Structure 1
Amino acid sequence: MPEIALFYGIRVTMYYDDHNPPHFHAEYNGHKAIVEIDGVRVIKGALPSKQLKLILAWCVLHQDELMQNWELSKDGKPMNRINPLV
């Protein structure tokens, strides 16, 4: 599961050949969530409130890059790192 970003202790990953809808995995201090890229919403799991706000803001800023990585993962190609939220 490639790490595509890491910021404020939040690790963002994507699996190859993962199920639809397009999404990524976010993990913070033992909390895990799956975030839908298009809908910018948690579809499974939970993060603490502060980290949830950060990851959703990051998702909005990087939706195009996240979708590009989703397509790369579907083709089994290496994914790109995405700039962290600063």
Structure 2
Amino acid sequence: MLINIRTLEVIQGDMPRRALALVLEWAQEHRAELMENWELCTHNQSLKKIHPLT
């Protein structure tokens, strides 16, 4: 599964609708943290932990 962090658009792949809804809900709640980790990754730095969906 490949999802654009900025838009939460599914780019490639599929999964059951319920699972995708949970993934997108979590990503929306943690979008800023995901973007921060993406920036860290592009600079070969350690990623920060992101809490799971509760």
When the two structures are superposed, what TM-score results if normalisation uses the length of structure 1?
A: 0.61
Match of 2:13 in 1: 45
Structure with bigger strand share is: 1
Query: What is the DSSP-based 3-state SS (H/G/I as helix, E as strand, rest coil) of the residue aligned with 2:2?
Result: strand
Work out the CA distance in 2 between the residues paired with 1:80 and 1:47.
26
Letter aligned with residue 46 of structure 1: D
Number of residue pairs the alignment of both structures matches = 54
Asked if the contact 1:35–1:42 (Cα under 8 Å) also holds between the matched residues in 2, the reply is yes
1:61 is displaced (CA, Å) by 0.3
What SS does structure 1 have at the residue aligned with 2:11?
strand
Deviation at 1:81, TM superposition (A): 1.4
Q: Which has the higher helix share?
A: 2
Write the distance in 2 (CA, Å) between the matches of 1:81 and 1:50: 24
Q: Please state how far the C-alpha of 1:80 moved relative to its aligned partner.
A: 1.1
| CA-based RMSD | 0.6
> 1:5-84 to 2 correspondence within 5 Å?
33-84=1-52
Unaligned runs of 5+ in 2: none
CA distance in 1, matches of 2:32, 2:2: 18
Runs of 4+ deviating beyond 2 Å: none
